[in-house]
Amino acid sequence: MLRRILTIDDDPISLSIAAILLESDGWIVLQASGGQQALDLLADGVPPPDCILADLRMAGLSGAELAHHLRQAAPGARLFAMTATPPLSVDGYDGVLGKPLALEALRAALAHRIPAPPAASPDDPDGIIDPDIFERLEHAMSPAALHQVITVFLQDAAARLAIMRRADSSTIRSEAHTIKGGAAMIGARQVVHAAAAVESGIDQDGELFRKLDEIEAHCRRVEGIVLQRLKL
């Protein structure tokens, strides 16, 4: 039975949430905040993982190049890329999983099965929070811990938005990608969509700032919905 898993992500929020979900499912979780750190960890002689989850887009070593090195460092591990907007396949990986991590999708991938589409579930009217994702998080941690995780995400997003308002286009796209990944992990759907639009590149300054304002507004609504759901 597969028991040990290595997760690699340069977004600490995504890394923490993935670890919580995996540990709740019985996995022994190793964490690395980047591709090179993961390789260093494996070189240090830790027990080899049965499975590796690697964010597809990270600063430094990532993507197909990281997959090549991971294959050499942990030849027996199943290797999956993770991204909020998954392509059908990525060179070097056994498969691609979406963010947020769905345990049933991981199980299906490990069993070489195609997961059934998720059942329809009631949403909040504007689709701000994905109810299925939020429910999984509620089952995996206490209300106080979940509130803390989401508060950290919102504070991190606010800091990144401030940077984006005065940054060059490359930095803007990079920061938007990180916001998108963290938002996907907590099920903040509208934040994901708006951040993805910024990540894809917006040339007109007015449109860019309007989209940044939109992300900020969606973050505020996430906070309100979370406080209501958790009754805090």
Count of other CB atoms within 10 angstroms of residue 48: 14
- Helices (runs of H) and strands (runs of E) counted in the chain: 9, 5
Rounded Cα distance between 51 and 44, Å, is: 17
Give the model's pLDDT for residue 171: 92
The CA distances from residue 189 to 52, 113, 175, in Å, are 26, 26, 17
Give the model's pLDDT for residue 115: 45
Q: What is this structure's pTM? A: 0.67
Rounded Cα distance between 90 and 83, Å, is: 11
CATH superfamily of 4-110: Response regulator (3.40.50.2300)
How many residues in the chain? 232
Q: Sketch the domain layout of the chain as residue ranges.
A: 4-110, 131-230
Give the model's pLDDT for residue 137: 87
**Phi and psi angles of residue 54, each rounded to the nearest 5 degrees, phi first:** -125, 125
- The answer to whether the CB of 153 falls within 8 A of the CB of 186 is yes
Measured CA angle at 145 (ends 223, 12), to 5 deg: 80
* SS3 category, 164: helix
Phi-psi group of 168: left, alpha or beta (phi > 0 → left; psi -120 to 50 → alpha; rest → beta) = beta
Relative orientation angle of helices 189-199 and 205-230, to the nearest 10 degrees? 160
The one-letter amino acid at 29:
V
Rounded Cα distance between 100 and 97, Å, is: 9
Q: What is the DSSP letter of 130?
A: -
Q: What is the pLDDT along the chain (232 residues), one digit of tens a residue?
A: 568 999 999 988 888 888 988 988 889 999 999 999 999 999 998 888 999 999 988 888 999 999 999 999 999 899 999 987 767 678 889 888 888 788 888 888 888 654 444 443 444 555 788 888 888 888 888 888 889 989 999 999 999 999 999 999 899 999 999 999 899 888 898 899 899 889 888 766 678 888 999 999 999 999 888 888 887 6
Q: State how beta strands 28-32 and 51-55 pair.
A: unpaired
Give the model's pLDDT for residue 123: 42
Give the model's pLDDT for residue 2: 64
For residue 39 the two structure tokens come to: 């390789």
CATH class, domain 131-230, is mainly alpha
Rounded Cα distance between 45 and 131, Å, is: 40
